[in-house]
């Protein structure tokens, strides 16, 4: 087995030092976390075009790398536990996916909890998916193909949006992609415990529970559109699911994928042995990320 890249090793060392420095300090409030995540967003490459747009009443960005096809459209749903992060934080990741796939990528600023609880985020995502079917970066016009992708909470939202589209008779995306998807907000997956000591991102055992409380409150934890791992998965389009071995959300992907495969859904799973939760976001230049983005690009090109 190969060793982790220098990028990964350096990140883990820096993360460990940062957590040691923060030990005993009160966590920042949501406003501070949101502002900090936007300020720390990875820079967008100079050759990528970012255009702010009103996506049917929801703020969003069209992100286009050179050569992106305006009629091959991907809705990207950012992570952040449904409470932080934004279209600003994920412009770089959207840029990389656009470059690899040749798709025009719409990064959505769906409403955040706790100001807006479930199903506000789901409603926004489905409305935006309907919107890209009829609107592209060049203006109104039908899409030649559509996709949905997202990371962490946005990965769960990717799956629930695809499920909702199926249930409401909306034309399905050609395919869907998830990165470190959070598919179970009830926390029934064993990797919450088995990977607790190895996950460098979720080092506070209560952080995911806090996100769940903000998102759905005490109820709806097993609602199929809040926790898509509990949904009927028949009839979904092909799905690529990427996850890292070290993360507490590992089983959210593995067990969802098993249920999807059992339901007849063509589901591909890639487990990065040296990665961590959405390493794609934190380390855009790492070899592990470049390989993962290349896989996403190839998968999307193969499906439309």
Query: How far apart are the C-alpha atoms of 50 and 53, rounded to whole Å?
Result: 10
β-pair type (59-64, 103-108): antiparallel
Q: Which two tokens stand for residue 76?
A: 């990207």
Predicted local confidence at residue 109, as pLDDT: 98
Count the Cβ atoms, other than its own, within 10 Å of residue 118: 22
Predicted local confidence at residue 182, as pLDDT: 98
- Quick check: is 277 catalytic? yes
Q: What angle do CA 274, 276, 281 make, to 5 degrees?
A: 115
Predicted local confidence at residue 27, as pLDDT: 83
Q: Is 220 left (phi over 0), alpha (psi -120 to 50) or beta?
A: left
Predicted local confidence at residue 1, as pLDDT: 58
Q: Of 277, 280, 288, 303, which is the active-site residue?
A: 277
Strand order in the sheet with 103-108: 49-54, 59-64, 103-108, 69-77, 145-151, 175-179, 239-244, 267-272
Query: How far apart are the C-alpha atoms of 164 and 253, rounded to whole Å?
Result: 19
- Phi first, then psi: give them for residue 118, nearest 5 degrees: -45, 130
DSSP 304: -
Give 21: exposed, middle or buried? Use CB within 10 Å, 0-12, 13-18, 19+: exposed
pLDDT averaged over 10-residue windows placed end to end, the chain, 304 residues:
91 92 86 94 97 97 98 98 97 98 98 97 98 97 98 98 98 98 97 95 88 94 97 98 98 98 98 97 97 98 97
Predicted local confidence at residue 22, as pLDDT: 85
Domain 6-302 fold: Rossmann fold (3.40.50)
Q: Which two tokens stand for residue 65?
A: 């790398």
Q: Of 95, 104, 152, 180, which is the active-site residue?
A: 152
Look at the alpha carbons of 185, 244, 234, 107 in this order and tell me if their dihedral is positive or negative.
Answer: positive
- Quick check: is 90 catalytic? no
Predicted local confidence at residue 164, as pLDDT: 98
Q: Of 90, 214, 247, 280, which is the active-site residue?
A: 247
Sorted by where each begins, the domain ranges of the chain are: 6-302
β-pair type (267-272, 175-179): unpaired
Give CA separation, 271 vs 47, 240, 246, 249, 268, in Å: 31, 11, 10, 12, 10
């Amino acid at each position: 087995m190969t060793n982790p890249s220098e990028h990964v090793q350096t990140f883990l060392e820096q993360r460990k030092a940062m957590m040691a420095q923060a030990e005993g300090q009160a966590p920042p409030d949501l406003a501070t976390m949101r502002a900090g995540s936007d300020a720390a967003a990875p820079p967008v490459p100079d050759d990528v075009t970012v255009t702010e747009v009103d996506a049917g009443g929801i703020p969003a960005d069209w992100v286009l790398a050179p050569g992106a096809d305006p009629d091959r459209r991907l809705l990207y749903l950012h992570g952040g536990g449904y409470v932080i992060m934004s279209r600003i934080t994920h412009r770089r990741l959207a840029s990389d996916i656009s470059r690899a796939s040749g798709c025009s990528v719409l990064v959505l600023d769906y409403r955040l909890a706790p100001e807006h609880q479930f199903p506000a985020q789901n409603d926004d995502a489905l409305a935006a998916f309907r919107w890209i079917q009829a609107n592209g970066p060049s203006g109104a016009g039908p899409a030649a193909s559509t996709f949905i992708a997202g990371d962490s909470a946005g990965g769960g939202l990717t799956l629930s949006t695809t499920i909702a589209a199926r249930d409401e008779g909306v034309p399905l995306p050609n395919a869907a992609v998830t990165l470190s998807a959070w598919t179970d907000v009830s926390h029934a997956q064993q990797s919450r415990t088995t990977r607790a000591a190895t996950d460098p991102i979720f080092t506070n055992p209560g952080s995911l529970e806090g996100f769940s409380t903000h998102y759905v409150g005490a109820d709806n934890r097993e609602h199929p559109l809040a926790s898509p791992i509990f949904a009927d998965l028949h009839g979904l389009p092909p799905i690529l699911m990427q996850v890292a071995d070290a993360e507490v959300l590992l089983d959210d992907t593995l067990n969802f994928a098993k249920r999807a495969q059992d339901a007849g859904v063509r589901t591909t799973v890639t487990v990065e042995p040296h990665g961590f939760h959405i390493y794609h976001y934190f380390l855009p230049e790492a070899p592990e990320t470049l390989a993962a983005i290349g896989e996403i690009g190839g998968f999307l090109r193969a499906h439309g």
